[in-house]
Structure formats: C-alpha cells, structure tokens
Amino acid sequence: MNKAIIIAKKEFRDNLRNRWIMAASIVFAIFALTISYFGFSPGGTVGFSEIEATIASLTTLAIYLIPLVALLLGHASFAGEEERGSLHILLSLPISRLEIVLGKFFGLSMVLAVSTAGGFGIVGIIITYIRGISGFSAFFSFIFTSILLGMAFLGMALLLSASTSDKSKVIAGCIVLWFIFVMVYDLALLGVLIATGGGIPTSIFNALLFLNPTDVYRLINLLGMEAGREFLGLTGIPVTISRATAALALIAWVAVPVSLAYAVFKRRDY
Amino acid sequence: MVAIQAKGLCKRYGNIVAVDNVDLEVKEGEIFAIVGPNGAGKTTLIKMILGITKPDSGFVELPDPARTGYLPENPLFYDNLTGLETLQFYASIRGIPKERCYEVLSIVGLEGVADRKVGSYSKGMVQRLALAQALLPKPLILVLDEPTSGLDPIAAKEFRSLIKEMREQGSAIIMSSHVLSEVEQLADRVGVLYRGRMVAVGDVPTLVEKRGLSAQLYVRIKNPSPKAVDTAIEYGGISAEIKGDLVSVACPIKRRFEVLRALDDEYGVVDFRVEEPGLEEVFVAYAGGKR
Ligand SMILES: Nc1ncnc2c1ncn2[C@@H]1O[C@H](COP(=O)(O)OP(=O)(O)OP(=O)(O)O)[C@@H](O)[C@H]1O
Ligand SMILES: [Mg+2]
C-alpha cells in the first residue's frame, strides 16, 4: 500500500504546481472573503457577520466552485495520462491498479483539501478573530464537508476518465455532470414540485435529495440552522433528514464513484 | 536461455486485426527488432508482451516487471515535475535507491537539466528521459518502442552503443523502429510485421537470401563490348546492360563473384562497386504492398 502513497505524493506535488488549480484556489479565497464581507447580514449592515450566516452564504459559493475544481483536478487522471503514454509506463511497473487509483484519489483529495482550507480558512481565521472561538467547530465541519463534496466530484471525474481514452469526451462529461448536479437538478426538482402542486410524498422528496451530492452537502451545513432553512432553496417542504443521515449519504457519495472508477480501470485495456 | 516468449498472440479492435497469431522468442543477450509499416501492430504487440494490453488469444510469459524496462512510443511525462523528480518517482515505485537516478541521468546525458521542469524539455530531451526511466532497474529485459525517435545523430549513436553494451551483459532487448539502418546495425534478428502478421523472422542476410533478393553490380571494363551483357547473364546475372565501359548487372547475391570473375577474364575489370540488398529491400519485399 505504500506505493499508493508514492502515487499520492506525486499527484499532490504535480497538481499543487498546476497554474489552473492555483488560480482557482485564489479565486476561491477572493470570493469567500467578498461574500462573507458583503453577504448575508440580518441587520443589512456590511461586515463580517455571524458564523452561521457566513457559512450559509459560503455554502452556495462552495456548491458552484468546489465541484469545478474537483473535476478540473481529476479529469486527466487516466485519459490524459493514456494520451501521454505515462500511463503505459505506470502499468508496466510493479504496482497494482488499486494502488494507482487510491494514490491518485487521495493525492488529488489532498490538493482539494489544501485549496479548500486555504480558500475558506482565511475567512475562518478572520471570523474567529472578530467573533471569538464560539463558531469554530461549525466552521470546521463546514470546511470538512466541503472537502468531502470535492472528493465526491473527484471520484466522478476519475470514473469518467477511466471510462474512455478520449480526453475531450471526459471534459464534455465533466461539464455535463457539473450542469446536472449544480444547476439543473434542483430546478427540475422544483419543477416537479410545482407540477404536482407540492403533492409528492415527503419520503420520495427526501430520497431525491440524496441523489445529488450538492443537496446532501447543503443539508448537512444548513439543517439545524435557523437562518439556514431559507438557503435550502426549497422552502415549504418538510425536510425530515437528520444531519447524521446526510453525513452518511455524503460519505457514500465519496466512496461509490471512486470504487466504480477502480472497477472500470481494473478491466480497461490500454 | 529464452527471456521472452509469446505464442499465438491475437488482438483485434472492432474490425481491425491489430495483431494476428504472432509467435515470438527472444533470448538473453539478443537484440530482436520489430519492423513494419505504420499501423502494422508493433505497438500493440509490445503492449501485449508487457501485459498492458490483454491478448484476445495466445499467451505471453510475462517478464518480471521488477527487472523489465519499458520505453513507450512518444512518451510524455508530468510537465510540473523536474527530470530528477520524475525519475525519483519511478525509482521509489520500484524500490530503487535515489543514487541510481543520478546514474541513469548521466548515462543519457541529462545531468545538466535534471532540475528543470520536464514541461520545458525538448522532444529529444524527453525521449532521453524516457530511456533513463527504462534503464532504472538495470533491466534484464528491455522493451523499446521507437527508442531513437527524436534523438539527434550523436544521441542515437550513443544509444546504439549503450544497447550493445547491455546485450553484452546478457539483457534481452526487444525494440521496434522505423530506422532500418539502425536496426541493421543493432539487431541480431528482425521480425517483419505486416498487417498484424509476422511475415518474416531471422537475421538480415538470411532474409535477403530467403527472398532471393539480387545484388546490383557495377563493373567498369577495359575492353568494352556489347557481348559483356551476355557474359554477365551466362554466369548468373538476372539482367544486365552496358553504357560506355560500365556494365550494370543484377544478380543473386551468391553469384556476384562469379559474374565479376567472368567479366574480368574476358574484358578486364578496371573498377567495380556492389550494392548489396539489405533490410530496406527485405522490408519492401515483405511489406511493400498496400496496407
Ligand atoms: N486502442 C485502440 N483502439 C482501436 N484501434 C487501435 C487501438 N490501438 C491500435 N489500434 C489499431 O491497431 C492497428 C495497429 O496499431 P499499432 O499502434 O500497434 O501500430 P504500429 O505498428 O505501432 O504503428 P506505428 O508505426 O504507426 O507506431 C492500427 O490499425 C491501429 O489503428
Ligand atoms: Mg507504434
């Protein structure tokens, strides 16, 4: 298994030096700072507000940006390396395909973690400084689940990348994934709600929320927050999911795509 | 001792038969070269030998990856890593000490740019790095897919002496190449791959003879006569002509001396030159048809 660590280290080092990833992280930090400063503030005043409110606004930002960064990080993992021929070298070495997949997944996850913690951490530090340590654990869990959200999309990117040799197809697939999960899915859900006059059973509605990792992520961070409910975007529906269940669902979203990626990669012929 | 063995290898992609029932055997201390037109199946065959691609049928006794070096076709590495970091990455996967990275860097002449990012390397520098990578495990088996593509003439020459040295040390080397002169200099045996089939295997002189390829003889004679053409034909020439004092004869390679002696006896040879058929002629004979 320490060969997986070698792969992970290489991926980490390689991608930290990737200009696109660096740029995305910086944009991330700037957005996070701006939103926290001007964003949701109950009194209508400008400035760094309460931790809950800040998390609520940052969640929306994270849902747009983190999947994008994750897909950017993961899309070239197999198809790109195949094009370059470096994958063929890797496959000729004494290392298993499982080690290759795990190494890539966790190495890239580390990059995500650094980029997320960097982007949001600055806000966290400022808020802790201004508002005291009280909201620290909520903010910590926000950063942690943000990384998990990224890992879910990273797994999907690896799955796409292992499924075809054509990197442009992988890129197209990533864009489609992003559009579906970040843009289309909730709108479609809303459409269904309107069409049925709010008549779908709560259990089905809740189940549908589980099928989108960004919804699961939103639930974890906004449930149990007074201010958060409005941000759920689908007000009026009784959400009966507990945070613990949502957390399990997010973990499943991390584990399943990367496992599928391994299953596909193991059978692929290069 | 046989180092690499494959039997009945087949591989198709959709309707395309990339490799069709190929047998292969490479011994320790032998250089085996695969030649063939673009798309003949060389790369596919090589990838099957390494277990990267699974054959549809047939089997390979897969070489031990720990002591096998592989240089893929048109390799590219990770742009953001330096040459040294790239080698260290492969070395650590193989469990090879770091010092070996410096050794192979100097073997391929990249010490000077070891700390530069590979993204800034020229094509030939990347090719050298790929060779360095293949040499890391002090390979007993070396598999090279177009190893000199992109190398300058000096580097190509250094490559040839390196490969010969490894053969002396007992490594089994299998390579594909489009540079037939290089193959002629290096290879102990050559396999011609054509439309996925191994249409000829052997050393170059044997293949030339098997195919009955003719040598071209140019002889300048002291007493020119149109009859010299008949003499040349009589002593084994396939076709002949004379222009001024120069007789040109195509003849089987084994009979070139007979023809020359007959011409000398009757007309007196002043000067001569022989063009022997080589791998290029073998290649055209076996694989010159349409793809
Ligand atoms: N992954 C693949 N999918 C579909 N067809 C393939 C694939 N790999 C190879 N082929 C086909 O198999 C045949 C053999 O290809 P291969 O790359 O082995 O040829 P080659 O002899 O190495 O050619 P070159 O001299 O151009 O490198 C070609 O017709 C090629 O199009
Ligand atoms: Mg090839």
Q: Is B246 found in the same domain as B132?
A: no
Q: Which of A15, A86, A95 is closest, CB to CB, to B77?
A: A86
Separation CA A100–CA A102 (nearest Å)? 6
Give the pLDDT confidence of A56-66 residue by residue, as tens digits: 888 888 999 99
Total of domains in chain B: 2
Rounded to two decimals, the ipTM of the complex is 0.89
Domain that holds residue B52: 2-207
CATH of the domain at B181: 3.40.50.300
Token couple for A58: 């940052």
Distance A11 CA to ligand 2 centre (A): 28
CB-based pocket (< 6 A), ligand 1: B 13, 16, 18, 36, 38-44, 73
Check residue A48 and give its pLDDT: 60
Give the pLDDT confidence of A196-226 residue by residue, as tens digits: 876 777 788 888 889 999 999 988 888 766 5
CA-nearest residue of chain A to B66? A94
Q: Is B103 found in the same domain as B177?
A: yes
pLDDT band at residue A239 under the 50/70/90 scheme:
low
**CB within 8 Å of A202: residues ≥ 6 apart:** A237, A238, A240
Q: Is B230 found in the same domain as B202?
A: no
Is the pLDDT assigned to residue B146 strictly greater than 70? yes
Read off the pLDDT of each residue in A15-26 and give the average, rounded to a whole number: 87
Q: Which residues pair with B189 in a beta bridge?
A: B32
Q: Is B226 found in the same domain as B171?
A: no
Let me know if residue B288 belongs to a domain. no
Percent of chain B scored above 70 by pLDDT? 99
- Cβ atoms of residues B143 and B48 within 8 Å: no
Q: Is B29 found in the same domain as B125?
A: yes
pLDDT band at residue A40 under the 50/70/90 scheme:
very low
- Model pTM? 0.90
Q: Is B26 exposed, middle or buried (0-12, 13-18, 19+ CB in 10 A)?
A: buried
What mean pLDDT, rounded, does chain A reach? Answer: 86
Nearest atom in ligand 1 to B196's CA: 14
Read off the pLDDT of each residue in A11-31 and give the average, rounded to a whole number: 88
Token couple for A122: 């600055």
Check residue A232 and give its pLDDT: 54
Q: Does A91 touch chain B (CB under 8 A)?
A: yes
Q: Is B143 found in the same domain as B267?
A: no
Give the pLDDT confidence of B73-106 residue by residue, as tens digits: 999 999 999 999 999 999 999 999 999 999 999 9
Let me know if residue B187 belongs to a domain. yes
Q: Is B113 found in the same domain as B228?
A: no
In terms of Cα–Cα distance, which of A76, A74, A92, A100 is closest to A266?
Answer: A100
CATH of the domain at B263: 3.30.70.980
pLDDT band at residue B290 under the 50/70/90 scheme:
low
Q: Is B267 found in the same domain as B147?
A: no
Is the pLDDT assigned to residue A233 strictly greater than 90? no
Check residue A36 and give its pLDDT: 78
- Mutate which of B10, B17, B38, B43 for ligand 1? The one with the most ligand atoms within 8 Å of its CB, which is B43
Q: Is B103 found in the same domain as B32?
A: yes
Percent of chain A scored above 90 by pLDDT? 53
Q: Is B179 found in the same domain as B83?
A: yes
Whether B77 and A6 lie within 8 Å, measured CB to CB: no
